[in-house]
């Protein structure tokens, strides 16, 4: 009899969670302007962690930082990544504000503590149910490793580098420089 009680309790909890999620959606709608709840953020982080294969998490960047690779990555990031993540990596852009969930601030510890392998996997494969597309292909692995060098550099990005990046932002978005901060 105890086994049936446990099963019944689990079914009631599952139904309660489903009803709570439904009420939340009805109340908040499915707008991309909403802020994810703490539970959504927790579940998303853990789902992302589980989705990345263990051997991928353990990969190390084969490239050592160099001025040349950082320059190539700066230009690439400004053209491909900045529309959502911003030139400074903060994610507060025209497109970033319209995504759900919002792009992460790449400068913060939450992203910086990810392993090189995790970042490589995310860039290459994207993240489902977010605005993050997968870029392998068309990017070559070396391009993604260079981007990781640049992501690691973002917390130390200078004002001069941000101004330089504006030259490489997509042409269709020029005139919106304030949106790339």
Give the domain ranges of the chain. 1-30, 38-179
Sequence-ordered list of residues with C-beta below 8 angstroms from that of 166, at least 6 positions apart, any chain: 78, 87, 177, 180
Tokens of 42: 């927790």
Q: What predicted TM-score, i.e. pTM, was given to this entire model? A: 0.78
Contact present, 135 and 126 (Cβ < 8 Å): yes
3-state secondary structure of 162: helix
Per-residue pLDDT of the chain (181 residues; tens, 9 = 90+): 577 777 888 888 888 877 776 776 666 666 777 777 787 778 778 888 888 999 999 999 999 999 999 999 999 999 999 999 999 999 999 999 988 889 999 999 999 999 999 999 999 999 988 889 998 887 889 999 999 999 999 999 999 999 999 999 997 655 655 555 5
Q: Which CATH number fits domain 38-179: 3.90.1200.10, 3.40.50.720, 1.10.760.10, 3.40.190.10?
A: 1.10.760.10
């Amino acid at each position: 009899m105890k086994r049936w009680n446990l099963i019944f309790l689990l079914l009631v909890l599952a139904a309660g969670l489903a009803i709570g999620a439904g009420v939340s959606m009805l109340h908040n709608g499915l707008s991309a302007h909403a802020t994810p709840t703490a539970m959504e953020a927790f579940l998303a982080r853990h789902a992302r962690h589980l989705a990345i294969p263990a051997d991928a998490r353990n990969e190390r960047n084969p490239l050592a930082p160099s001025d040349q690779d950082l320059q190539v990555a700066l230009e690439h990031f400004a053209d491909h990544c900045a529309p959502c993540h911003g030139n400074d990596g903060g994610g507060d852009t025209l497109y970033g504000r319209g995504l759900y969930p919002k792009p992460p601030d790449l400068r913060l510890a939450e992203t910086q503590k990810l392993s090189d392998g995790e970042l490589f996997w995310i860039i290459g494969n994207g993240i489902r149910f977010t605005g993050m597309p997968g870029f392998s292909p068309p990017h070559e692995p070396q391009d993604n490793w260079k981007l990781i060098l640049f992501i690691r550099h973002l917390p130390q990005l200078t004002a001069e580098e941000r101004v330089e990046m504006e030259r490489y932002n997509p042409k269709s978005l020029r005139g919106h420089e304030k949106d790339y901060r």
